[in-house]
Chain A
């Protein structure tokens, strides 16, 4: 018998006939994240209908986004794009006074070749308000990649030089001192002393503010200072990006942003696994430390502590199988974490796989599988949902992570499901939130546990096919 060679990851590509959200959905979380922004989606009723329904109650909360709904006259170029956009943007400026208007290009603007990138600078000058253009359309991208296109466009707007020059620093500090009134001088100094001296580090990826605080504190424990975050809470607070700065991504779907930061802004990318799950968070911090030449401390103990606190949830999922149908690009990181938790995973569906940007994550997946002694999942890019459902039925899967289009029908057939979109909106990053991921993953299993004696597993009549 030959000794099994460490097998390489097997990548496949199917038909691309799968269900996912349109990338314009990114406005839902980005308008909330960037508080002084306004998102204008330039598209049709179809886009509007999607946003209206996908965002549920949020739509009623006077959102800082709107549709520029294209009419027949726009499509056939009877109306002048520039004049139309000027009219709408003036109205937005008057009613909402945002610090930036983000134009979201859609399938329709692509097809009719509306030159948004060309129109924006002209209109920006005329209305004197920044206009950022992101082409987040369904022809090219899936769901979370929408955020990637927006952040890549924002990266171009980050200031190039730190705003304060050496000469002004004293003056500014004087004001800072005034503002620090009551805070002892030593305290301010000691704040700085907690950090090791290193090349500035900027993180990219939109996360809820509490998670930003958590990850920032996590790095602070290692003496690493986070100089800025793309995106910041406000457009006017975008971080400085000088040539040679380090950047690190917090989400697996940000490959365009990473490329832009490297090529356009000449930053150095720290390629690390993503801080999802305690294993991912530790690997992320370790990689950043190693690049910044800092000896990480206390991580081993911290990770162990987190795992110990997860034990009750781990007991529920250990040895069970999970199947990712694929729709938000978080799949590789989540699968890696769940495998570490003791699950098996025959298939990871994913809309798009950037093997370079996700290289460290893929390596960690491979390593995790080897250490847990389970086969490496097949990674299916552009999956075909119909085929996947046949495979799910054949393989007797314990948990399917899928979109809402399939969740109820699968549940009715006795298959446990978790709605994948929740992972996009829940807080899943860092050590602190590992429990939240498992809370989501185990929920269907816990629920169905409490129903299991009722005999209500299969609730559809399988009609005989003629």
Chain B
């Protein structure tokens, strides 16, 4: 047992659901107790999704405990098959079904007999993997399923596309700024004259997965999701993959140079050096920002970085290499991938921290007192407590981290966004600091008084106590309305009763 208040990565089934619901016309059925479908709320709220989230639950209740699921799971699968005609139904195990050890594989086989669409059991173990690992695995599983199916049916397309083309692998629902990154990456590919063969899983149809081998190469922008599928495609078809995250000016260039190499190795003849040069010096503002005096002021300022492997590693490199900021420590909660992370950031920070314990991370922040934090929503909160500004760079995230405006983190526009994020975090901190030194914007006492300030009315002790229970941000309004009410009725002592009578009369 572990005492835990907060977790960075969710449980395994969330990962499977993120993959399943990213595809078009795929339905997930969770084998879970009532209330475990919280994923639907998150997707509907955070992504402001207009469509019903294609996830239903085959409920595990007392009867199931006593007698097993029996026909119930199969009935639920075939019912969903007739109601919505999905191409694929993914039966998703949860922590509960992990312990029940029902033969879900058998249910899937039997349901497949009646279902028109395909049915599959997600192969994830709740107690062994987290959300990100499960997502990686499920994507691999679905890709493999449809490649093998096409192979069996003999309709796997032969050969590559005529022009250089790419599969972008790993864009998912509820991923940090994934939609914007996807747009930016497509734009980048268009600028490079590369056709986008398939983007998976977001918005893709499983029926098109058989086309994956036609691409010249695969691009995996996020370390956490997509690598397994890319490695599978490399092994089956020899398709090379690129796992350099194009985040930050230097890394974007490195990613493009790698693309150039991969294309030329397959008989293409491309040279992207001029493009990189033009973008770096004149289109993206990030390189120029590094030279500007604004950025000079950031030299040697202390920062800490924490997040998933992809974003924490990329951010650490941007801060240290491109802006001359002193990264005291960089960390990740992706413990299972710790070696990669150490290797990536080792030379750009003083210390590497790998932990899933938010308390330890909070202490590590307090210990070094950085000028800015780049982390998740949890670190943002630690920052609030310690009065240190924080830029959010990775999940777990809140609704504010699903902006409607265009905010990629990748590609050349992404470099601009990163500059704003970093610069705004630091200047805000500086402003705060200066205010403190000079004692605030307005050091004179406020002269004008509000209505409630010179009250001729008395509050009884109980009334005052009750008033204090009202949340601070509306207390003033309640007080004013109550006093107005009392004055109109010539009541001189405000009791609890008067207070609530006022509320009833004016809806205060």
| In the complex with contacts A16-B59, A67-B5, A69-B4, A466-B85 CB distance below 8 A | yes
Which chain A residue lies CB-closest to B505? A309
How far apart sit A54 and B398, CA to CA, in the bound complex (Å)?
11
Residue of B nearest to A221 (CB): B497
Question: Considering only CB atoms, which chain A residue lies closest to B58 in the complex?
Answer: A17
- Interfacial chain B residues near A19, Cβ < 8 Å: 37, 40-41
Does the CB pair B11–A44 fall under 8 Å? yes
Alpha-carbon distance between A74 and B507 when the two chains are bound, in angstroms: 53
B14 lies within 8 A of chain A by Cβ: yes
Q: Which residues of B contact A405 (CB under 8 A)?
A: 37, 40-41, 44, 52-53
Q: A292 within 8 Å of B by Cβ?
A: no
Question: Given A46-B11, A49-B10, A59-B6, does the pair A460, B37 have CB atoms closer than 8 Å?
Answer: no
Chain B min CB distance to A91 (Å): 6
On whether A84 and B52 interact (CB within 8 A), knowing A46-B36, A48-B7, A59-B6, the answer reads no
A69 touches B38 (CB 8 A): no
**What is the minimal beta-carbon distance from A153 to any residue of chain B, in angstroms?**
19
Does A209 lie within 8 Å of B36, measured CB to CB?
no
**Nearest-CB residue, chain B, relative to A387:** B83
- Which B residues touch A466, using CB under 8 A? 85
Which residue of chain B lies nearest to A305 when distances are taken between CB atoms in the complex? B504
Inter-chain CA distance A22–B398, complex, in Å, is: 21
State in angstroms the CA–CA spacing of A110 and B66 once bound together: 12
Q: Is A412 an interface residue (CB 8 A)?
A: yes
A210 & B469 in contact (Cβ 8 Å cutoff) = yes
What's the least CB distance linking A96 to chain B, in Å? 11
Residue pair A20, B35 in contact (C-beta under 8 Å): yes
Q: Could you tell me the distance in whole angstroms from the C-beta of A102 to the nearest C-beta in chain B?
A: 15
Tell me, in angstroms, the Cα distance from A19 to B65 when the chains sit together: 20
The verdict on A23 contacting B11 (CB below 8 Å), with A69-B4, A405-B44 known, is no
- Contact (A21, B57) CB under 8 Å given A46-B95, A412-B50, A459-B50: no
Residue of B nearest to A408 (CB): B44
Per-position binary interface string of chain A over residues 429-466, scored 1 when its CB falls under 8 Å from any chain B CB and 0 otherwise: 00110010001000000000000000000011000011
CA distance A409 to B378 in the complex (A): 29
CB pair A409 B49 closer than 8 Å: yes
- Please tell me if A112 contacts chain B, counting CB pairs below 8 Å: yes
CB of B406 closer than 8 Å to a CB of A: no
Bitwise interface map of A from 64 to 84 toward B, beta carbon under 8 Å scored 1, else 0: 001111111011000100001
Contact between chains at B38 and A45 (CB < 8 Å): no
- Within 8 Å by CB of A52, from B6, B36, B99, B469, lies B6
Choose among A139, A305, A309 the residue that contacts B65 (Cβ–Cβ < 8 A).
A139
Given A75-B99, A408-B49, A107 and B3 contact (CB-CB distance below 8 Å)? no
- Number of A positions contacting B (CB below 8 A): 75
Known contacts A44-B126, A309-B504: A140-B61 contact under CB 8 Å: yes
Across the interface, which residues of A come within 8 angstroms of B282, CB to CB?
none
User: Which of A49, A63, A409, A439: most chain B CB closer than 10 A?
Assistant: A49
Q: Is the interface of B mostly helix, strand, loop or mixed?
A: mixed
B1 and A408 within 8 A (CB)? no
- A50 to B38: give the CA distance in the assembly, Å: 7
Bound-state CA distance A102–B191 (Å) is: 60
Instruction: Please name all residues of chain A whose beta carbon is closer than 8 Å to the beta carbon of B34 when the two chains form the complex.
Output: 16, 20, 22, 138-139, 141-142
B100 within 8 A of A: yes
Q: Is B310 an interface residue (CB 8 A)?
A: no
Across the interface, B44 reaches (CB within 8 A) one of A56, A112, A409, A435, namely A409
Confirm or deny: B60 has a beta carbon within 8 angstroms of a beta carbon on chain A: yes
Tell me whether A360 is interfacial, beta carbon within 8 Å. Answer: no
Would B100 and A210 count as touching, CB distance under 8 A?
no
Q: Is the CB of B5 within 8 A of A63?
A: yes
**Interface residue ranges of A197-227 to B (CB < 8 Å):** 209-210, 213-214, 217
* Residues on the A chain within 8 Å of B65, using CB: 110-111, 139
Is there contact, CB below 8 Å, between B99 and A138?
A: no
CB pair B1 A87 closer than 8 Å: yes
A54, B38: Cβ atoms closer than 8 Å: yes
> In angstroms, how far is the closest chain B Cβ from the Cβ of A229?
15
Asked if residues B38 and A22 are in contact (CB atoms below 8 Å), the reply is yes
Whether A50 and B35, one on each chain, are in contact in the complex, defined by CB atoms closer than 8 angstroms, is yes
Q: Is B386 an interface residue (CB 8 A)?
A: no
Sorted nearest first, the 7 A-B pairs with minimum C-beta distance are A22-B35, A138-B33, A405-B40, A412-B50, A45-B11, A84-B1, A44-B95
Given contacts A45-B10, A139-B33, 18 further A-B contacts (CB under 8 A): A19-B41, A22-B36, A42-B1, A45-B126, A46-B11, A49-B11, A53-B41, A53-B42, A75-B99, A108-B96, A138-B35, A139-B61, A141-B34, A143-B35, A404-B41, A409-B53, A432-B504, A459-B50
Q: Can you list 19 residue pairs at the A/B interface with Cβ under 8 Å?
A: A17-B76, A22-B36, A45-B10, A46-B94, A46-B95, A46-B96, A48-B4, A49-B11, A52-B396, A66-B5, A68-B3, A69-B1, A87-B1, A107-B95, A110-B65, A210-B466, A305-B504, A306-B504, A405-B37
